[in-house]
Structure 1
Amino acid sequence: MKRAWLWVILPLVLLIALIGIFLTINPLGPLGVSAPPIENLTVERTVLDDRGISLLVRAGGSEPMQIAQIQIDGAYWEFSQNPTGTLSRLATAWINLPYPWVQDETHHIKLITNTGLSFEHEIAVAVPTPQFSLTRVLAYALLGLYVGIVPVGLGMLFYPSLKALGGQGIKFLLALTIGMLAFLLVDTIEEGLELASKAASAFSGNALVWLVTAASFLAIFTLGRRGGKAPEGTALATYLAFSIGLHNLGEGLAIGAAFAIGEAALGSLLVIGFTLHNITEGIGIAAPLVELRPKFPTFLGLTALAGLPAVLGTWMGAFAFSPLWAAMFLGIGAGAIVQVMVEVGSYLARTARKTGGTWLSRVSFAGFSLGLAVMYATALFVNF
């Protein structure tokens, strides 16, 4: 056993030694090849208060870099940096600018390094950044409840009418759910990739979203099948609520960030749009329960699981927004949605066999198409 471990450790040690030798002697020198340092700077967060403007920046270049000068609206301005000194690869620092910004105006910032390279950042609408307080926490929580809990609960109220459906009606409803999930999957991945593009390029955000999606799907799928069979009934509804909850986390992030940067009109429209959009999600969660008689606490738990993440999202968007972490959360949500699509599809196939039919029929195609159409139509209230 010890000999086996030796042959695991020895190649790794040799690899590290070879990399060290390569970096030390630079074998490319005789070829006349040189690798100039690459500088990259990303502004991850902007804070505006009565002290001025604060920027959280992250260095993403191949070598340490130093911010030498800063221009605001074409004029050079004094600044302080915390921590001071050069920024090593992937290091972050707060840049504090005692600048008298003007509310509702646009401000252009240019950060210039000691090598003369510049990076631009725009504050489209200057408004005070929300400060952490109990009043604001409660206010954003109410926004999240309005977007998450209320519409999902309203959608769950369709449950008694769904009970009246026959075998073909259940097939239609399950296919409708898969159609809605397909739209949510595309929407979630699109949002994740958009946020990933705003993170430091060194993190390879786009690849990270896809990798997290795949890992999330495999992890949740393994958990769901740990008993050796596919989840049904309440278990399937729980996985549905969980995946939709992760999607609603992303919606909360969008709303919280919109209000935090001063786009109150956009934030209000997002609240209305997501509220209409999420009613259909409650119907989808209720679909696997039509053959059961769940108790009222079950409905409450499923509604909370699907809706409460929107509250967490509004808090994160308003007070601690990070494009990289937001993209990762959305990747997890996308993986969960794929897992639920597989399980609902499996449940649809089993239901079709019980009624002597097949999962692929005109009824299921009509349901899937209607699910896509409904989600697309309600998304018109969200996209701007």
Structure 2
Amino acid sequence: MTPDNMQAPVLRDPAASRAQPWRTAGWLLLPLVVLVGILALLLIAKPLERLTEGAPPVELASIERVRLTPGLISLSVRADGSQPVSVAQVQVDAAFRSFTIDPPGPIGRLGSARIDIPYPWVAGEGHTIVLLSSSGVPFEKVIEVATATPVWDGPTLVMLAIVGVLLGIAPVATGLLAFPAMGTLGANGIRFVLALTVGLLAYLFFDTLSEGFEQAGKALARLRGPAVVLVTMLVTAGALTMIGRRHGRAPEGVALATFIAFGIGLHNLGEGLAVGGAIAAGEAALATFLVIGFTIHNVSEGFAIAAPLVGRKPRFPTFLGLAVLAGLPAVPGVWIGAQAISPFWIAICFGIGAGAILQVIVEVTSMIARRGGAAALLSPAVLVGIGVGLAVMYLTALFV
């Protein structure tokens, strides 16, 4: 006899069990079906058009890139608004000029086109370009100092590569020369160096993020540049954290130094873009000033890379590889920046760099906590190290 406190087994209908996945899928698809119906109503029936019949069409456009070749000004234009933008006239220095547009015709929403304007621009002088839409809306672009866009020939690439090496690899390698001195530190000294790394990287993180927001602000508002920078940052940090801990433990030693070098490398890619952009804009003095400032600034990045290696005996090829990983991205950065690419893509690059740096900050901080306990994060050595790192990066950034 079955005791009163025991329940008889529940028998499930096999047919009902087989139907359960289909029922679940149906409920999951139902919101999608309803959403499609709502969108069809808005796009086909167009109930809101009555409210905007008397309003003028909204036309927006952004001149994302300017390329100057002898006798020719080329613009890359991206459009937005409630209707396609038709470029009807082009003015250069207040005079109407002939032009060609590719692809021909109106520029659709978020579409892009290239506009070529035959014009004898003068090197070293400023020029003002105004695009007039068919409805008379002006879109202006000012060239502060006209200079030919660098071409992708051998000598130019070599020259720009040298600039990238002086900007990235050389200062990082210089900072790595301090590693032997770091090896003589005691426990508090090592903790200070790790905290110094956190301070250095924290400044780089905020600097990279602010650069990303600045570039995002130059793109069309419809592209949601600032939000894209934040999302890119979080996705990058999450992906790198997953890669770094794929074996179930946090990276240390050479592995952590490699992640630090990778994050700094992405940051140096952004610095290369800034220098290349100054070259493309014809601001040679500014480009030289940026290279000098970034070189001074990046020496401290070598300290950050070397910090996780304290107490270990890495070989010379390890240091060489870390210096190349951290500094070499500055070379393609200068190459790409010199071609005056869209600020939206530059903003994404900065977002990726910020995400990589954020992941490294979390890993280095967690390493301090593992070695000395959670209380170590509030120890004088750590707090002073973070403060010194922030101060060093700020003071060297004044040269930029």
TM range (shorter): over 0.9
Identity over aligned pairs, percent: 51
Deviations 1:129-186 (A, max 9, x none): 1111111111111111111110000111100010001111001101111000110011
In the alignment, what sits opposite 1:129?
149
In the alignment, what sits opposite 1:223?
243
Asked if 1:358 corresponds to 2:376, the answer is: yes
Distance 1:268 1:29, change over 3 A: closer
Distance 1:61 1:216 in 2: 31
8 Å contact 1:132–1:319 — kept in the other structure?
no
Residue aligned with 1:102, SS:
coil
Q: How does 1:66-85 map to 2 (within 5 A)?
A: 66-85=86-105
Distance 1:235 1:28 in 2: 57
In the alignment, what sits opposite 2:354?
334
Question: What amino acid sits opposite 1:306 in the alignment?
Answer: A
Distance 1:185 1:165, change over 3 A: same
Distance 1:49 1:349, change over 3 A: same
Distance 1:119 1:32, change over 3 A: closer
Distance 1:244 1:20, change over 3 A: same
In the alignment, what sits opposite 1:376?
394
Asked if 1:258 corresponds to 2:278, the answer is: yes
Question: What amino acid sits opposite 1:46 in the alignment?
Answer: V
8 Å contact 1:196–1:327 — kept in the other structure?
yes
Asked if 1:315 corresponds to 2:352, the answer is: no
Question: What amino acid sits opposite 2:31 in the alignment?
Answer: P
Asked if 1:86 corresponds to 2:112, the answer is: no
Q: How does 1:1-384 map to 2 (within 5 A)?
A: 1-28=21-48, 36-319=56-339, 321-353=341-373, 358-382=376-400
Question: What amino acid sits opposite 1:42 in the alignment?
Answer: S
Distance 2:107 2:223 in 1: 16
In the alignment, what sits opposite 2:8?
none
Deviations 1:274-316 (A, max 9, x none): 1111000001100000111111111111111101111110111
After superposing the two structures, state which structure 1 stretch, 218-227 or 253-262, moved more. Answer: 218-227
Residue aligned with 1:40, SS:
strand
Distance 1:201 1:357 in 2: 45
Cα RMSD (Å) of the superposition?
Answer: 1.7
Deviations 1:67-109 (A, max 9, x none): 0011111111111111110111111111111111111111111
Residue aligned with 1:319, SS:
coil
Distance 1:357 1:117 in 2: 62
In the alignment, what sits opposite 2:15?
none
Q: Provide structure 1 residue ranges, at least 5 long, that are not aligned to the other structure.
A: none
Give the structure with higher Rg (CA): 2
Deviations 1:36-95 (A, max 9, x none): 532111111111111321111111223211000111111111111111101111111111
Distance 1:31 1:94 in 2: 35
Residue aligned with 2:377, SS:
coil
Question: What amino acid sits opposite 1:241 in the alignment?
Answer: A
TM-score, with length taken from structure 1:
0.95
Aligned-pair distance for 1:10? 4.4
8 Å contact 1:185–1:337 — kept in the other structure?
yes
8 Å contact 1:40–1:61 — kept in the other structure?
yes
Residue aligned with 1:119, SS:
strand
Q: Provide structure 2 residue ranges, at least 5 long, that are not aligned to the other structure.
A: 1-20
After superposing the two structures, state which structure 1 stretch, 108-117 or 10-19, moved more. Answer: 10-19
Question: What amino acid sits opposite 1:299 in the alignment?
Answer: F
After superposing the two structures, state which structure 1 stretch, 32-41 or 170-179, moved more. Answer: 32-41
After superposing the two structures, state which structure 1 stretch, 181-190 or 222-231, moved more. Answer: 222-231
After superposing the two structures, state which structure 1 stretch, 211-220 or 32-41, moved more. Answer: 32-41
Distance 1:253 1:342 in 2: 26
Distance 1:39 1:329 in 2: 29
Aligned-pair distance for 1:359? 2.4
Distance 1:238 1:261 in 2: 34
After superposing the two structures, state which structure 1 stretch, 329-338 or 28-37, moved more. Answer: 28-37
